[in-house]
Structure 1
Amino acid sequence: MVGRSHDEAPCTGCHRVQPAKWGYCRLCWCQARLSTKSTASRPLDETDVRSRLGAVRHHQLFFVGMHYRRRSTPPPPRPRGRRGAPRKPPPLPAWRPDPGWRQLSLFDQVPRDYSRLDPADADLASPWLAWAKHLAYQLAEARGWGRNIRFAVNRGLAFVLTGYVEGDVIRHTEIFVPLRALDLSVGHIVTVLEEMGIFEDDSEPSFERWLAERLEGLAPGIRSEAERWTRVLHEGGPRSLPRREGTVWLYLNGVRPALLEWSDRYDHLREVTRDDVLTYLKALHGRQRHSQLVALRSLFGWAKRNGLIFRNPTSRIKVGQYEYGVLQPLVPEQVDRAVAAATTPATRLILAFAAVHAARVAQIGTLMLDDVDIGNRRLTIAGRVRPLDDLTLKLLLDWLEHRRTRWPNTANLHLLINNQTANRTTRASNHWISTSMRGQAATLERLRVDRQLEEAMTQGPDPLHLAEVFGLDEKTAMRYADSARQLLLASPGETPGGTVREAE
């Protein structure tokens, strides 16, 4: 190969002034060797490479050392463990240390500054650490933690338990930043600390941060009343049940524009009049008017029952029946693109659950291994037993084989798991389940609607049949039946035995 000892000269191939051998620079020699290797069936020598120098017309960039000859046979497998060492034995059994006598703390609720601790100065002989390592080993065996997670958990426990004495409480706000700075798994360490009973989660819930952000900019009197109403929706009250968090978000987001507008003129909700509500609603139409009026009626109705206002300004303002449009089926091209986007065993199974069994995203995430009865070809979704078709059965077996190979030691009983939930017992998030179809015209929700609409068109627009097959309530089943009936009337050639694709 060309080295520094060769004289510099214009290269015959690339015309650069470089150290040249036989008139060619080192890059041309490497490209000729690479081209010769792709066609030769025997070991190469310099003569073979030299014969291809004149045919070099381009250069493939490379890193130094990539063209060295590698060994023809793979190296023998190394024994398990680092550098052939035997696997580290499990920690000795340990229990909660005997407190004996202890020095009572002079001040309570004094935060501890873990950022001043050095991991190199950890107290490895602490009896609390021995107990924590024993519990961590049991959790790792039960939940299938890998070697890296076990090492990170033991290192983090040694860090946070240094100097720990009976009666101390380890708080989330104190250890989160130091552990993240060391790139340690906070969630798994917290799991061990909770098992020990010495952890306190004092982190601010996401709902509190969201509520403070949504109430920003309101008049003080209106803000306090809106906050009380939102908390009653979220937590429930003496005569009301707690709502789902998503419903609370919709209600507060619905009244916020009106409250911001009224905060410029009023200080309390009791100053808002019926004319103010009507004036605000004039600028709204369709679903936006419907949703915001429902939220305003809830707010002022609560305020009237609790004596915060003298008169409900939204009374006798009719919400009206919302007119739903006709549901439209998907076209084959949209479905084909969604099928092409499902490239993994998990995404293909998720697609089948939505497109064949009309399962919602939340229902897919909560499926357990016990919900699948392969022997009897049964599948239980949201408490309803459904038969397993051939396509879903094949995709289900592919996913179970992939799950067994990828996470053989997981203790998570949910059917669908990923890298995060395989080491825990929680379900996969809705975001992870629907991320493969995000950006597609045929999302999981559209596929679910299309499946139910297809059933209504192929079997006839019968609400009772739809309610029995998919577990729909009567209003939803009637909506699908009405849409199917209108689509069939719009296409006279379409019969109940036809396909939903032709109705578009």
Structure 2
Amino acid sequence: MDSLCPECSRLRSWASRGTYGRRQGHCRRCGYPQPVARDGTCRACLLAVRFGQDEQWMWAEVRREYLPSGRPRQLAFSLGWLKLPDARPIRNHDQPMVVQKIPPWVRALSPRPVRDDPRVCPPQMPGQLALFPTPRRTFAKYDGGRIHDRDIPDLPLVVAELRKIAKVRGVKEAWFRTTWHMARLALAAREPGERQVRPELVPQLPMMHPTVGEALELAGLLAPKRARLVAAEELVHGSCEHCLTWANDRLTVCIDCRQWSYLHPGTGNCDRCHRLLPLARGLCRFCTLVIADELPVLTEGAAAVADDFAAYIRQRGWRIAQLGGSIRTLRILLAHLGIDAPIAEVDVKAVAALSSNHQGARVANYLRRRGLLAPEPQVDPNLARARTAADRLPKAYGDAVHAWIDVLTGQGSKPSLPRTPETVDRYVRDVAPVLQSWHHDGLDDPREITKEHIEQVLKPLRGTRARGAHVGLRSMFRALKRERLVFRDPARTVALVVARHLPVALPSDRLQGLLGKVPDVRSRLIIALVAIHALLPIEVARLLVEDLDRAHGKLRVRRPGRLDHVVYLDELTMALATAWIAERFERWPDGTNRHLIVSRQTAIDDLHPTISTEVTNKPFQRIGIPAGKLRQDRILDEARHTADPVGLMRVFGLSNASATKYVAAAHPDKRPDPIQA
């Protein structure tokens, strides 16, 4: 006879088939060897949590936190006439990209709080006279939602009129909820004893006040206009004076037209409407938008592509109201170019550059997916800057630098390992001022340069500038000698004596509470990878999702031109990585970028670009410590605990020279005395 109850026997049979969990293991909660579910807990512990006997564990599961095992174990009786509830895991550890779903019985333990903020339009005693007149109110956008549960008389009448208006206009539920909150705010702001809303109160709403006023008037709750009670400057304005559109705010010129005037400060008479306004190409913003909307009729195929683009937007979880610039750009391209041939990517960028109301990034991604985009050749920005710097040099030096760049990128006459584009750009930037100075001194050919010329240029330089110029000149002349563009290498025997500064540790008070200074999970993960595991910001940007091995707690760091480095993650970094993966999937469930760290722009880009340096530098700007200082402090702290350079090389993937430098800085007493040597 089996000693297990039917439910536990069924659990054991599921575990043996591998469909419910592992075959046999120690429960993550109680620590006993039992058949466990997908989250690593046995059925008895799941029942204990289900019956509310361990709320701390339950909330830790909801927040995806980890608690130590060894918690009290609850035994359950098996009664034939009493059926126990389902013992299902709260979270699934085998699928980290799945959005966390909280069971209903967990939600029932934390009911939604009542939303009735007494600071928003506090109820007043009817019949009392105010000592002072009511001043102009200042409402916030979300004040209506903060009194959502307040019992406000006559609100159903206004809501009924708002539904009629929404049906006539064909707007969505979001528009209705916004106007509903504004109507609730207007009714709550009524004076004591008054049923109708004063007309001067409606324009004080933060938004949608024309629509709310219309609904109040239809419901008979808008008081008639009285004699002017406020100054003329307090009255609101209707539409924008420039583009004539209803701005729905208190500005005489809308925000878009203000931005237009900043970008186009010159004013004049418009060629189309003859008004004196800021112009671009002889047209004001209003006429520019009108002409841009005067498009040829779309063909049947082009109209189908436009409709499919709208469906593509909804599938990605975006709102069409926010992507009007992308839709406008696509319609212009389809109307003028059609779909019989692929649309050039340069044309998409040209239309997107017309104004701030045209956007082309999502249009290019969509056309690329449909096979309707003729992409332009991809050029690395660092290499483009290096080539541009070479073009600005005198012809003899410019040709030499172009040949040098070919060698650095592996395109010389002989095969060689290419350098990174960042290295190429840095080399050219360090060498270009030296070449310009030689040209001003009358040296117009690289073959005229001697060792004395190089030493004379390096003599006044100090620190990083001297080191960069020395390394760049040695690399350039070595490449020119290899390509047989110079007879000899004048920089071969040039030596540079540079004082090497040893790493210095940061004060302990600057390192306290670093993660608490940044609000989002992505920034905390970036700081943890640099401050704990000493990764470079460029290495963090190159990490791929497949490089994170959550099962073994490892992270693979790709280093072009070198062996990959394996980092063993600690519990804090692992928890941050798990939280970031969950947040990333929740924000961009359709994102295709393979990189681990993505931004709003790169997550949906089908070209899978890395994040910009602005994204990686922003967390360190918030905490006030550069990334290099944090990385240096972490390696130096590890070097204090060990005097073995090989250990630093294994933990952080350092070179022999770098590891020796950090050990010497951490243990100055163990450095050899140059006098005794």
| TM-score (norm: length of structure 1) | 0.69
Deviations 1:155-188 (CA, angstroms, capped at 9, x unpaired):
4333212254677453333332323335233122
- The residue aligned with 1:192 is 366
| Alpha-carbon distance in structure 1 between the residues aligned to 2:646 and 2:381 | 41
In 2, are the aligned partners of 1:133 and 1:154 still within 8 Å (CA)?
Answer: no
Structure 1 residues without counterparts, runs of 5 or longer:
1-36, 87-114, 490-504
Instruction: Measure, in 2, the Cα distance between the counterparts of 1:342 and 1:258.
Output: 42
Give the letter for the 2:404 counterpart: W
Task: Give the alignment of 1:416-431 within 5 angstroms.
Answer: 416-425=597-606, 426=608, 427-431=610-614
User: Following superposition of structure 1 onto structure 2, how do residues 189-338 of structure 1 map, counting pairs within 5 Å?
Assistant: 189-195=363-369, 196-201=371-376, 206-207=381-382, 210-211=385-386, 213-215=388-390, 218-234=393-409, 236-239=411-414, 240-264=416-440, 265-319=442-496, 323-336=499-512, 338=514
Q: Distance in 2 between matches of 1:384 and 1:151?
A: 45
The answer as to whether partners of 2:548 and 2:554 remain within 8 angstroms in 1 is yes
Q: Secondary structure at the match of 1:357?
A: coil
- The equivalent residue for 1:175 is 348
User: How far apart, CA to CA, are the structure 1 residues paired with 2:170 and 2:603?
Assistant: 24
Tell me which residue corresponds to 1:356: 532
Alpha carbons of structure 1 residues 139 and 235: separation in structure 2 relative to 1, 3 Å: farther
Shift of 1:400: 4.1
* Contact 1:372-1:379 within 8 A present in 2 as well: yes
Structure 2 CA distance, aligned partners of 1:210 and 1:312?
A: 26
| Equivalent residue runs for 1:366-381 within 5 Å | 366-374=542-550, 376-381=552-557
Q: CA deviation at 1:353?
A: 1.6
Select 1:342's aligned residue among 506, 518, 524.
Answer: 518
Out of 542, 566, 572, the residue aligned to residue 391 of structure 1 is 572
Q: Which of 641, 661, 664 matches 1:482?
A: 664
Match of 1:469 among 651, 655, 676: 651
Distance change (3 Å), C-alpha of 1:377 and 1:286 = closer
Q: What is the rounded CA distance, in whole Å, between the counterparts of 1:41 and 1:132 in structure 2? A: 50
Query: How far, CA to CA, are the matches of 2:121 and 2:328 in structure 1?
Result: 53
| Range 39-48 or range 72-81, more displaced | 72-81
As a proportion of its length, which structure holds more helix? 1
CA distance in 2, matches of 1:435, 1:146: 28
Equivalent residue, structure 2, for 1:104: none
Q: Distance in 2 between matches of 1:39 and 1:140?
A: 36
- Alpha carbons 1:254, 1:292 under 8 Å: kept: yes
The answer to whether the Cα contact below 8 Å between 2:528 and 2:573 also exists between their aligned partners in 1 is: yes
CA contact 1:171–1:201 (8 Å) conserved in 2:
yes
Identity among equivalent positions (%) equals 23
Given that residues 338 and 437 in structure 1 are in contact (C-alpha distance below 8 angstroms), is that contact kept between their aligned partners in structure 2? no
Counterparts of 1:173 and 1:44 in 2: how far apart (Å)? Answer: 67
- Greater relative contact order (CA < 8 Å, ≥ 6 in sequence): 1
Q: Give 1:83's match in structure 2, choosing from 171, 176, 184.
A: 171
Residues 251-289 of structure 1 deviation map (CA, whole Å, 9 limit, x = unaligned): 112222221111121221122233322222222244433
Q: Which moved more, 1:351-360 or 1:117-126?
A: 117-126
Offset, 1:364: 2.1
Distance 1:312-1:403 versus aligned 2 partners, 3 A rule = closer
Output the TM-score relative to the length of structure 2. Answer: 0.53
1:47-58 matches, within 5 Å, as 47=128, 49-50=130-131, 53=132
Question: What amino acid does structure 2 have at the position aligned with 1:419?
Answer: R
Q: Are residues 1:43 and 2:219 paired?
A: no
Conserved? CA contact 1:173–1:202, under 8 Å: no
Q: Which residue is 1:494 aligned to?
A: none
Between 182-191 and 337-346, the greater mean CA deviation after superposition = 337-346
Q: Work out whether residues 518 and 622 of structure 2, in 8 Å CA contact, stay in contact via their aligned partners in 1.
A: no
1:160 partnered with 2:160: no
Quick one: distance in 1 between partners of 2:529 and 2:170?
A: 43
Aligned residues, how many?
417
Q: Secondary structure at the match of 1:289?
A: helix
Q: Is the contact between residue 120 and residue 147 of structure 2 (CA under 8 Å) also seen in structure 1? A: no
Deviation of 1:342 after TM superposition, in Å, equals 1.7
For structure 2, the 5+ residue unaligned runs are 1-117, 175-288, 559-563, 672-677
RMSD, aligned CA: 4.3
